[in-house]
Amino acid sequence: MLTVWGGLALGIVLLVFAWDLPRPEAALETTRRPSVTLESADGRLLSTSGDLYGETVRLRDLPVHLPTALLAIEDRRFRSHFGLDPLGLLRAAWVNLTTGRVAQGGSTLTQQLAKNLFLTPERSLRRKVQEAMLALWLEGRFTKDQLLEIYLNRVYLGGGAYGVDAAARLYFGVPARRLSVWQSAVLAGLPRAPSRLNPRANPRGAAERGAEVLRAMAATGTLTAAQAAAEAERIAFPPRPSRDSGWFADWVNEDLASRFPGSADLTLRTTLDLRAQALVEARLEALLAGPGAAAEVGQGAVVVLDAATGAVRAMAGGRDYRRGPFNRAVSARRQPGSVFKPFVYLAALEHGLAPDSTVSDLPLTLGRWSPGNGAWRARGDLPLEDALAHSVNTAAVRVLARAGGAREAAAVARRLGLAGPFPNDATIALGTGEASLLELTAAFATFANGGMRVVPHGIAAARADGRPVPAGLAAPARAVQPEDAAAIRRMLEAVVSRGSGRAAAVAGRPAAGKTGTTQDFRDAWFVGFSGGTVIGIWLGNDDATPMDDVRGGTLPARLFHDILEGLPRS
């Protein structure tokens, strides 16, 4: 009778624990977020988002040291237990009792698989009982090799990667079939704390855990102690070539849902040149930490763009992405100052003027407004080319009048890609509208490439679930007549060779560009080009506090010089 009542009580207890169990038949079904993988221009991994899955791998196709490493560190009696390991539970309880902390767990690999497939991370007696019940079901339904195969294809290994193939590609750039011994050990060590110990988040922790797995392999006899030590010495993760390409990645990811509708996994080959990106970051930080700090410059932004296509090769949206993801190259809209003047002069050329046409630089008053010329000493009449080269404000206002006024200048700016808003008065000649650095850099590409408007973009090619799909690239379109673009280019070359942008000049590399400075030195700009590369630079402070006499022709022009000097010729 006691046995009957005991069995009945046990049955009731099991029913209580099992009433909300998920369907175990769903073991091979997955529900996940589509992944987006960004690659640099040369194919190196840039970033991932969503749930990243690689190929489904079969146990027979994997190097034998991968499952061996996993079993050595996670479940040495996997082949002999029935899903639960009483000896392992007793050992873990003893270690935890003697150390006074939870130093070991007693879960088998099958229990871990049950938890990963069906259950939440909740820590409770109910969840542990359900985990055990599901482990028994899995052991009855699948062979040991099948369980190991399911585990290796489903286990979360950090960085958004599920399964050993996705993790191998993410961390080492190889498929799981080509993993070395030490790489297998690193992956086998990740299930304990995948977010905290993965090579991207914690290279040192990943290496230490990998060495621990190698020692466990030696303890089980699958490696000798000497082999384990030698493999541990080989553990090394290459440094990421760029610290702050997150701004570029965020910009590329902004409109993916509308550009690539559906739920397919996307792999996007971007336009980012990692060498150029690393150069931009290093030069920007060096300037901000040195002369920038002395001149009270707190922030900066840089865009490097291909003049012929609009492909963005590098983007720094600030000093350090990890301190804040706000992208000053894309999202910040500021007064461009005299960087806007080329659009005014282009409008004048389209109204019949030429670089050799003359304009007065004498003082000027319009109503109650009198634009100043800073330290410039009036000469009377001077060629338009000289007026732009030396950024003479009174001359620019007079050129605006001869170009048809503010509406004409705004129309030219919009035609070249600037969204505005722009004031409908003469102050527009001095850049009192609004623009982003990315807009200005792309607009200057029109002057560099002979008059074709380009749309700045970061995606060169796309694949959805492994199949090529259109990347939706906009073709360059004629926006300026070639002769007018050539005239503006000639005038911008004068800015660098003998005007306000002389600090931007690089020996042996002809360059063109325009300086810009807003009132009270709140913003300083230089946008220029050499060969087929356009570089846009902004320096300032997020709270718009003034800098110490920083003009477009000083630190921004110097930064242009430093970046151009380090880039290969295009």
- Other Cβ atoms closer than 10 A to 487: 22
- Other Cβ atoms closer than 10 A to 18: 12
Considering only CA atoms, which of 173, 177, 170, 175 is closest in space to residue 64? Answer: 177
Asked if residue 156 lies in contact with residue 194, where contact means CB atoms within 8 angstroms, the answer is: yes
Q: In b/e form, how buried is each residue of 220-239, taking b as 16+ CB within 10 angstroms?
A: eebbeeeebeebbeebeeee
* Residue whose tokens read 């300086």: 515
Considering only CA atoms, which of 249, 484, 180 is closest in space to residue 353? Answer: 484
Spot the catalytic one: 39, 47, 74, 530: 74
For residues 95 and 88, give the distance between their C-alpha atoms in angstroms, rounded to a whole number. Answer: 11
DSSP 5-67: HHHHHHHHHHHHHHTT---GGGGG----PPPEEEE-TTS-EEEEES-EE-PPPPGGGS-THHH
For residues 202 and 199, give the distance between their C-alpha atoms in angstroms, rounded to a whole number. Answer: 5
Strands 266-270 and 36-39: parallel
Which 3-state string (H, E, C) describes 234-268? HCCCCCCCCCCCHHHHHHHHCCHHHHCCCCCCEEE
Which 3-state string (H, E, C) describes 149-178? HHHHHHCECCCCEECHHHHHHHHHCCCHHH
Asked if residue 317 lies in contact with residue 329, where contact means CB atoms within 8 angstroms, the answer is: yes
Catalytic site includes residue 285: no
For residues 323 and 308, give the distance between their C-alpha atoms in angstroms, rounded to a whole number. Answer: 34
Q: Which whole-number Å values give the CA distances from 223 to 49, 188, 226, 235, in the listed order?
A: 36, 15, 8, 16
Strands 45-49 and 312-316: unpaired
Spot the catalytic one: 107, 338, 391, 500: 338
What DSSP designation does 81 have?
S
For residues 294 and 272, give the distance between their C-alpha atoms in angstroms, rounded to a whole number. Answer: 32
Q: Find how far residue 225's CA is from the centre of its chain.
A: 41
Asked if residue 341 lies in contact with residue 369, where contact means CB atoms within 8 angstroms, the answer is: no
What DSSP designation does 377 have?
P
Strands 299-306 and 312-316: antiparallel
Catalytic site includes residue 338: yes
What DSSP designation does 476 have?
P
Cα-Cα-Cα-Cα dihedral sign, residues 163, 167, 173, 174: negative
Which residues are known to be catalytic?
A: 74, 338
